[in-house]
A and B are shown apart, each in its own frame.
Chain A
Amino acid sequence: EDQVTQSPEALRLQEGESSSLNCSYTVSGLRGLFWYRQDPGKGPEFLFTLYSAGEEKEKERLKATLTKKESFLHITAPKPEDSATYLCAVRKNYGGSQGNLIFGKGTKLSVKP
């Protein structure tokens, strides 16, 4: 069964304390892994897309990496404004124009000043 598991469920950090969020997946035929950020009551905001093992992408204090079984979202020297729920999602190689995502349940990050 296709599955996306994120850990930890919740993470509390002090401002400046770097850490990593994990997303492990079991999907036949991966056609992209996506990271989104979601603030309470808002829609998910796109962060990164990763397509192949070994790929890395960076944006400000965030860096996403991908292996054959999991992805990590590294947060370097986080600030309180980085507090949000981070969602991981995968898309299978459906072929054609089918493109629905399978989401994990997210990691809720809190960064205290």
Chain B
Amino acid sequence: DSGVTQTPKHLITATGQRVTLRCSPRSGDLSVYWYQQSLDQGLQFLIQYYNGEERAKGNILERFSAQQFPDLHSELNLSSLELGDSALYFCASSLQGQETQYFGPGTRLLVL
């Protein structure tokens, strides 16, 4: 158990819908990262928050957004969902930004 929690574990929704994925980092960690894992692309970095502020952006679509709250939990919002958004979404956390990242169990999203 890495100490990073993610909810929900599974999510099934329809095209065009909007969903919210939630992540709670390890106790004391200030940085939260979101990654997407699909079969053909591997793990792709989406976005990083550090102590409530956006720190880095990767290949994140404009339909996707995230935020980190004062209690340091983070939410990833996915809107106008398409079939191709079906993937595993992982959250990771680290103390600040230069340390080992520990991953949560992931949310499996299926868009029908």
Contact of B105 among A42, A49, A100 (CB under 8 A): A42
Residue of A nearest to B103 (CB): A43
Which residues of A lie under 8 Å from residue B48 when comparing CB positions? 98-100
| B27 beta carbon closer than 8 Å to chain A | no
**Residue-by-residue, is B46-79 near A (CB-CB < 8 Å gives 1, otherwise 0)?**
0010100001101000000000000000000000
In the bound complex, what is the Cα–Cα distance between A31 and B99 (angstroms)? 10
Give Cα A41 to B103, complex, Å: 13
Residue of A whose beta carbon sits closest to that of B90:
A43
Of the listed residues A32, A34, A43, A98, the one surrounded by the most CB atoms of chain B closer than 10 A to its CB is A43
A-B contact count (CB 8 A): 74
Q: Which residue of B lies closest to A104 (CB)?
A: B42
B98 touches A31 (CB 8 A): yes
Chain B interface size range = 20 to 34
Find the A residue at minimum CB distance from B2: A43
Binding site for B on A (CB under 8 A): 31-32, 34, 36, 41-46, 49, 87, 89, 91, 94, 96-106
On B, residues with C-beta under 8 Å from A are 2, 4, 30-31, 33, 35, 42-45, 48, 50, 55-56, 58, 88, 90, 94, 96-106, 108
